[in-house]
């Protein structure tokens, strides 16, 4: 593992702020989260994370102020602390272009060695539009809560509740192989937003599926046993 740069300078403060928001959401699900950072000699930085509640990979891109070559795994919390982004009480207008120091590398968890391929990615048909995806999520959360509340006291166990969540979040979305948990992850991480003409695309490459939006991507293996583990329970 090589770290050819000691700091990151982003194209503008908004890029750093968006990355900070993404890191904050990852840390909400795992206070010890790690992220893998990759830049292949251009001005695009890819940030990979794995929120355990969803058993998927989340990918957030950020534009850098200059070309960099980088491939390193670091603590998400330590990276967040170094980012130069607007804070409560900052002067109006905020800081100039964002920057951040690279924390010391960490020994990556197993998922950091099982990343999606660079391509080629092919678009897959059958994915509903953003409004339909959000409606499906709302219906799923309502169903989970209704079924959970209906459990008799003697069956109100973690295993029983996990079973309900596993059934609901493993359901395919529309006429696709994408499980609903991937859409839930996109919503929870800020990738699926209410906006006019919001493009959402489903792609595939080899054994991987990728839900792509303008704000980030969710990737997972078609076969859950192939490297991303089983299904998780999340209703938040």
Query: What tens digit of pLDDT does each residue of 219-232 get?
Result: 999 864 444 444 33
Q: Compute the Cα dihedral for 45, 48, 51, 57 and give only its sign.
A: positive
Domains by residue range for the chain, with CATH: 7-113 (3.10.150), 122-226 (no CATH)
pLDDT of residue 98: 79
- Which pair of tokens denotes residue 191? 């990738």
Whole-model pTM above 0.75?
Answer: yes
- Which pair of tokens denotes residue 108? 């990556």
Mean pLDDT in residue range 141-154: 94
What whole-number distance in Å separates Cα of residue 160 and Cα of residue 224?
21
Query: What tens digit of pLDDT does each residue of 14-60 get?
Result: 999 999 999 999 999 999 999 999 999 999 999 999 999 899 999 99
Which residues, in sequence order, are bridge partners of residue 221?
Answer: 208
Mean pLDDT in residue range 196-206: 91
Q: Of the candidates 121, 210, 221, 127, which has an alpha carbon nearest to the alpha carbon of residue 176?
A: 127
Q: Does position 184 have pLDDT exceeding 70, yes or no?
A: yes
What whole-number distance in Å separates Cα of residue 20 and Cα of residue 75?
13
Per-residue DSSP letters for 204-234? EETTEEEEEETTEEEEEESSGGGTT-S----
Could you give the percent of the chain with pLDDT greater than 90?
A: 75
pLDDT of residue 225: 47
Q: Does position 118 have pLDDT exceeding 70, yes or no?
A: yes
What whole-number distance in Å separates Cα of residue 174 and Cα of residue 129?
10
């Amino acid at each position: 593992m090589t770290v050819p740069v000691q700091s990151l300078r982003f194209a503008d403060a908004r890029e750093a702020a968006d990355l900070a928001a993404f890191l904050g959401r990852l840390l909400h699900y795992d206070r010890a989260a790690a992220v893998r950072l990759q830049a292949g000699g251009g001005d695009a930085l890819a940030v990979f994370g794995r929120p355990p509640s969803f058993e998927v990979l989340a990918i957030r891109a950020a534009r850098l102020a200059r070309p960099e070559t980088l491939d390193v795994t670091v603590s998400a919390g330590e990276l967040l602390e170094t980012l130069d982004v607007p804070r409560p009480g900052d002067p109006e207008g905020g800081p100039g272009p964002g920057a951040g120091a690279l924390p010391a590398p960490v020994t990556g968890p197993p998922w950091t060695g099982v990343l999606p391929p660079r391509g080629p990615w092919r678009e897959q048909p059958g994915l509903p539009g953003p409004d339909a995806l959000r409606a499906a999520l709302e219906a799923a959360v309502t169903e989970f809560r209704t079924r959970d509340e209906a459990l008799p006291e003697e069956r109100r166990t973690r295993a029983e509740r996990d079973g309900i969540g596993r059934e609901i979040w493993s359901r395919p979305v529309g006429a696709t192989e994408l499980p609903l948990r991937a859409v839930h992850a996109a919503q929870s991480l800020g990738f699926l937003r209410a906006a006019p003409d919001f493009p959402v695309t489903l792609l595939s490459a080899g054994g991987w599926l990728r839900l792509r939006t303008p704000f980030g991507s969710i990737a997972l293996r078609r076969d859950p046993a192939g490297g991303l583990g089983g299904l998780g329970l999340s209703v938040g």
